[in-house]
Structure 1
């Protein structure tokens, strides 16, 4: 696992083929759009979600926002800097280990609630429109594309950023499904495997290899958590 996971995380170009990550993202994005159209989501729109201090509406909008992030970088004309490795990207991001009341997480929730203001049908329609554009344009993005993330202040390889959105789509699709009482979307190994690999590597980075190994193999010595975030 170590070698393959390391190559995926560092984005050196030696890991998963560029096309694989792009196709995996599109599969997860299409699934997320279908979930947003679930009648159960609209029915529970104003109710609390499975995430603390997030309504179903806000969580749904946060899920859809992952497509917004990608769309904003398709025509990116900015001049990116040297891309940082994915582990460093997560280490620098304040929301990763911040509490619910940290300004970064408060801002994420507020943005979700604001984006949901027009209701479930409008949100799903916007997400579907973005997906259709991305399905047409994503494969043609340059192989070596690097993008500047203005909300973070640093740059990533475009395909590394796609992998971060893939994680968000898979994790928050599960959150939303659990919130409204529907089955978590079934996704293929091409989607799940890179998500599990990235989360495992982040868990090792945060908690150490011993904690992760014990949790996976020795329940009697497992720590309280090995959460990646």
Structure 2
């Protein structure tokens, strides 16, 4: 199995442990750290980073070559979209729908999905392609898992902050692909000098080098 698939499963299992923290159920109906997102909806969105992989693996892939990872973000209408943009409204709605049966049910469902993926991913070819119908375009499976790995890491932090627990620490081999992707996206958005200065020269660092 490729390194990114192993890292993805590690992050997914970490997310399940966070979802199972009693603080999540205790704050289920309260606002989260993200605007317009309840804790329940945010938990559902975090869990969706597992469910989406199963959906993609089951979907047919049209003919054509997959696009690159940075091209995926360049084409996406969600990057930089405002909180009231239809994309983000839809994300919040789906998150709430996923979480509608409550915290315990979400943990059980997500844990089962992770274990199914643990059985399925090792058998997928190294060049496996999946199709993003909402694009519409295709990515290699490993590139798609990289996007989900980043989402798991970022939204685990969001959820942990929302319920007042420590953000899960991910192993180095898991967090490195996330930081690499975010750095590449930040360079694309702000340019090399801005990111370089932010990391090395506090006296002339820009105010922001956010990836999105």
The TM-score with structure 1 as length reference comes to 0.90
Give the gaps of 5 or more residues in structure 1. 1-17
Cα distance, 1:220 vs structure 2:
2.4
Distance 2:162 2:63 in 1: 38
SS of structure 2 residue aligned to 1:151: coil
Q: 1:117 corresponds to which residue?
A: 100
Say if 1:48 and 1:55, in contact at 8 Å, map to a contact too: yes
Distance 1:81 1:124 in 2: 37
Say if 1:81 and 1:148, in contact at 8 Å, map to a contact too: no
Cα distance, 1:195 vs structure 2:
0.5
Is 1:173 the counterpart of 2:156 in the alignment?
yes
Is 1:73 the counterpart of 2:56 in the alignment?
yes
Cα distance, 1:79 vs structure 2:
2.3
Residues 53-91 of structure 1, C-alpha deviation per residue, up to 9 Å, x if partnerless? 111001000000000110112233332421111111001
Distance 2:105 2:36 in 1: 23
Distance 2:19 2:64 in 1: 35
Q: Which residue of 27, 43, 48 corresponds with 1:44? A: 27
The TM-score with structure 2 as length reference comes to 0.97
Q: 2:11 corresponds to which residue?
A: 28
Distance 1:53 1:218 in 2: 36
Distance 1:61 1:211 in 2: 35
Residues 32 and 80 of structure 1, relative CA distance in 2, 3 Å threshold: farther
Distance 1:51 1:185 in 2: 18
Say if 1:80 and 1:147, in contact at 8 Å, map to a contact too: no
Written as runs of structure 1 = structure 2, the 5 A alignment for 1:100-115 is 100-115=83-98
SS of structure 2 residue aligned to 1:81: coil
Written as runs of structure 1 = structure 2, the 5 A alignment for 1:198-209 is 198-209=181-192
Say if 1:67 and 1:130, in contact at 8 Å, map to a contact too: yes
Distance 1:119 1:66 in 2: 18
Q: Which residue of 56, 61, 70 corresponds with 1:87? A: 70
Say if 2:60 and 2:131, in contact at 8 Å, map to a contact too: no
Runs of 4+ with deviation above 3 angstroms: none
Q: Which residue of 114, 130, 138 corresponds with 2:121? A: 138
Distance 1:95 1:75 in 2: 24
